[in-house]
A and B are shown apart, each in its own frame.
Chain A
Amino acid sequence: MKIAVCVKQVPDSETRLTLSGPASELDTSGFTWVLNPYDAFAVEEAVQIKERLGDDTEITAVTIGPDRVMESVKKDCLAVGCDKAVRVDEAALEGAEPMQIAKVLAAVLKRDCYDLVLAGKQAIDDDAGQVPVMLAEYLDCGHAAVVNKLEIADGAFTATREIEGGAEIVTGALPAVITCQKGLNEPRLPSLPNIMKAGAKPQETLTCADLGIEVPAAASTIVNYEPPAPRAACRIVENDDPAEAARELVQLLRNEAKVI
């Protein structure tokens, strides 16, 4: 079986944004870059599938971005069990919208023909959660999104996907695209020797021209970045008796904030 894991490098979730007012761009200079946490579930799932099958299953990490993304790909993909990496390096795709990314990934995946495509349910920077679903459309295959349980057998998948108030059990034939939610597995950590060896695994760098496509055009434009409106200072309900403070709080929520 051939498995592709689509991954993205994102700013760490502890990252503070330095925006103080409306701006046309985001200052990314102080960012600490890591593998998107949801993509780690996709990587782990691919490795576990390969371990379960115990055959010559091959896992390819597919990514888009500048040189720096390879640090995450080596440490969090190749060093934990992915066999090789393909990266599309195209400066024009910096800050691209999900559809542009999905079109480029689709070109890579069509070239190499995979049985299973795994990805995180969303990236924690733009929070769009669109790319893998679009990818399924471009690859003309089924998908299951926001999956926290997955079984692969006999060329088909059974996925449990989170919905409001319950779960949907989605089944379909491979090839398929699955997007991974927390709870699917516990991603393993790379060992130091494996990190050292990761650099020796095959790594291919491509441009859109190599894939025989033009850089896809964007349909949307971000015209403004803005920090959330500042909140008024917190009103501390002071009372030596915490129970009394709780009762005062309830009155404030009812009469002042009018939320209960």
Chain B
Amino acid sequence: MPNIAVFIEQRDGQIKRVAWQMMQRAREIVDAAGGEVWAVLLGEADAAEAGAHGAHKLFTASGDHFARYNSEAWSAAMAAFCGAHAPDLVLMGSTALGKDLGPRLAAKLDCACVSDATGLDFDGGFKIRRPVYAGKCYTDLTFSSSTAVVGVRPNAFTLGDGGGGAVAAEAFDPGLDGFAPKATVAEIQAAAAGRIELTEAERIVSGGRGIKEADNYKLIEETAAALGAASGASRAIVDAGWVDHSHQVGQTGKTVSPNLYVAAGISGAIQHLAGMSSSKCIVAINKDANAPIFKAADYGIVADLFQVLPAFKEAVEALD
């Protein structure tokens, strides 16, 4: 009967959706196998909906250490929780925060650590699926330690009806009295307002060398805006300096799995395909009918993107 702890990631009181996505999966597993789902929140946020998403219990710790993320303090707090409650599995989002927190926690617990999980099953023991080589291949892992810290990729699991009821918050002692971290976050700089993060986006529009020059990237951004999508880029135009690296999709950029990925003017180098091929629906727009991107795509238009995207954008805006 596995008990699964789900870390509720919050920044400035805002809870990341991935928390509820993995809670849904955790609930499905314990509904079949027995056990409980434990939501764990560090800091101040309204996590009342944890119950509705499937948590049996909500554990919270508060204090100055949780006003802003700190790897050392937060991993110590999570280790204190695990020491007190001994969950059989700890799930957290494979986000910037989760990827920073998970390995420290696993090192403290001396247990298995898995990043970017896209699948989770239980049959007497846990089996975790994750992509390697940026998605060119998947691996299934089991572990022999008494618990494991598993980072779950955003959007890997979909929200359902959860199945839980209301839960009351129960405070736990994070054991941080007098704790002084060796490194701290001194400041947080926000990117331009309204920008959607690639790794969390449900839709992405990406541009490649087919946009011809840096100025034309705005066509990609405008199309993305019409779709409520994030804007991505191929390595070629990042290396050319047309777009910041934070937009790069591929094996040396971001690995993404949105519901819709539109690749405009991207030929489809293997390292780009690796980063986006797990997207649910892929659209390719390219002049070259032989471009490898069409082999990865569900829908394609063989034409100049400058003739396609403006009409595409207009048609999207005309949708109700």
Asked if A237 contacts B300 (CB within 8 A), the reply is yes
Q: How far is the CB of B201 from chain A (nearest CB, A)?
A: 10
- One of B20-28, B56-64, B310-318 at the interface: B310-318
Q: How large is the interface on B (under 10, 10 to 19, 20 to 34, 35 or more residues)?
A: 35 or more
Bound CA span A148–B244, Å: 12
Bound CA span A245–B259, Å: 21
Q: Which residue from chain A places its CB closest to the CB of B235 in the assembled complex?
A: A13
Asked if B140 contacts A223 (CB within 8 A), the reply is yes
- One of A69-77, A78-86, A168-176, A194-202 at the interface: A168-176
> Which residue in A13, A128, A222 is a CB contact (below 8 Å) of B251?
A13
Bound CA span A140–B75, Å: 13
Bound CA span A146–B312, Å: 36
Interface residue? B42 (CB, 8 A): no
Q: Mark B295-311, 1 if CB is under 8 A from A, else 0.
A: 11111111110011111
Residues of B within 8 A of A163 (CB): 96-97, 188
Asked if A166 contacts B133 (CB within 8 A), the reply is no
Q: With A228-B136, A260-B319 in contact, is A169–B301 under 8 Å at CB?
A: no
Q: Which residue from chain B places its CB closest to the CB of A183 in the assembled complex?
A: B245
Asked if A171 contacts B183 (CB within 8 A), the reply is yes
Q: How far is the CB of A254 from chain B (nearest CB, A)?
A: 6
Bound CA span A164–B98, Å: 11
Asked if A246 contacts B142 (CB within 8 A), the reply is no
Interface residue? A224 (CB, 8 A): yes
Asked if B189 contacts A228 (CB within 8 A), the reply is no
Interface residue? B222 (CB, 8 A): no
- Interface positions, chain B 255-300, Cβ under 8 Å from A, are 255, 259-260, 269-271, 274, 277-278, 280-284, 289, 294-300
Residues of B within 8 A of A164 (CB): 95-96, 197, 199-200
- One of B29-37, B47-55, B110-118, B209-217 at the interface: B110-118
Asked if A167 contacts B107 (CB within 8 A), the reply is no
Q: With A124-B133, A242-B303 in contact, is A260–B260 under 8 Å at CB?
A: yes
> Which residue in A38, A128, A162 is a CB contact (below 8 Å) of B96?
A162
Q: How many A-B residue pairs have CB under 8 A?
A: 279
Interface residue? A14 (CB, 8 A): yes
Q: With A16-B270, A169-B186, A242-B307 in contact, is A137–B298 under 8 Å at CB?
A: no
- One of B82-90, B143-151, B156-164, B169-177 at the interface: B143-151
Asked if A219 contacts B139 (CB within 8 A), the reply is no
Interface size on A, residues (CB 8 A): 87
Bound CA span A250–B189, Å: 36
Asked if B294 contacts A236 (CB within 8 A), the reply is yes
Interface residue? B208 (CB, 8 A): no
Asked if A219 contacts B112 (CB within 8 A), the reply is yes
Asked if A170 contacts B186 (CB within 8 A), the reply is yes
Q: With A124-B252, A225-B137 in contact, is A245–B303 under 8 Å at CB?
A: yes
Residues of A within 8 A of B127 (CB): 223
> Which residue in A14, A133, A173 is a CB contact (below 8 Å) of B270?
A14
Asked if B137 contacts A259 (CB within 8 A), the reply is no
A-B CB proximity, top 10 nearest? A142-B183, A172-B183, A243-B311, A142-B182, A133-B103, A242-B303, A242-B307, A246-B311, A137-B107, A219-B112
Task: Give 12 new A-B contacts, CB below 8 A, not counting A13-B274, A142-B181, A142-B182.
Answer: A102-B107, A170-B183, A219-B112, A220-B112, A221-B142, A222-B139, A226-B139, A227-B136, A227-B137, A235-B299, A244-B311, A260-B227
- A-B contacts, 14 of them at CB < 8 A, read A14-B270, A99-B106, A124-B134, A124-B251, A140-B182, A142-B181, A142-B182, A172-B183, A176-B183, A182-B248, A220-B114, A228-B138, A228-B278, A244-B311
Show the binding face of B for A, using Cβ within 8 Å.
69, 71-72, 75, 95-97, 99-100, 102-104, 106-108, 110-116, 127, 131-145, 148, 181-191, 195, 197, 199-200, 203, 227, 244-246, 248, 250-253, 255, 259-260, 269-271, 274, 277-278, 280-284, 289, 294-304, 307-312, 315-316, 319
